[in-house]
A and B are shown apart, each in its own frame.
Chain A
Amino acid sequence: NAGVTQTPKFQVLKTGQSMTLQCAQDMNHNSMYWYRQDPGMGLRLIYYSASEGTTDKGEVPNGYNVSRLNKREFSLRLESAAPSQTSVYFCASSWGDSPLHFGNGTRLTVT
């Protein structure tokens, strides 16, 4: 049972490049989330999907788009990467208001 799987684990982009971060969960959870983690700031919610077919903005959505491809998969896209998007990105999933289960993160550097 893998839980929440994120790919890639590491990525380096140049300013203006685009990329998609992938996330998949095998726990049959309804809700999925994308957070970013920056030093000294904890985790901040970018987007979430309460159920398949729905997505909503979180605290810091600017510069990102998401797709809830199916119940298992929730992707995060950076259309034009900026140095301010250098961060560690975490995907999480949950059933209702149960505790979130997190993946091990994607470490993104934008130069």
Chain B
Amino acid sequence: GESVGLHLPTLSVQEGDNSIINCAYSNSASDYFIWYKQESGKGPQFIIDIRSNMDKRQGQRVTVLLNKTVKHLSLQIAATQPGDSAVYFCAENSGDYKLSFGAGTTVTVRA
């Protein structure tokens, strides 16, 4: 079965607001997590990653939070822009060079 999943398949956000995308994972042995963004007609694009020895990591307008106690991962996007409209995937490193992906959350930014 799928070891990584997202809580909601869709998210509608007002332009300028902050977005929070959630992801749950089931493999407690996973030690590396990645968020990808996929725009229509393109391949997934790396956004940010985090290793299990960290709780939080920040990038440009994005923050990833990792809660190992409840096996939960979230991606926060600050001041959401129209260009942020895409499908967002979390991925989990299950070892041996393999990544397991969730089903994705479609983010739509309202003007």
Residues on A lying within 8 angstroms of B by beta carbon are 4, 31, 33, 35, 40-45, 48, 50, 56, 58, 90, 92, 94, 97, 99-105
Contact = CB atoms under 8 A, between A and B. Distances in A.
B93 A42 contact: no
Interface residues of B, number: 24
A97 B32 contact: yes
A4 B43 contact: yes
Contact of B46 (A33, A35, A99, A104): A99
Nearest to B49: A99
A95 to B, nearest CB: 11
Nearest to A92: B43
Interface of B is mostly: strand
Interface stretch (B11-19, B62-70, B97-105): B97-105
B103 to A, nearest CB: 5
B75 to A, nearest CB: 14
B73 interface: no
A42 B41 contact: no
B97 A104 contact: no
Nearest to A48: B97
Contacts of B42: 104-105
Contacts of A31: 97
Interface centre among A33, A99, A100 (most CB of B within 10 A): A99
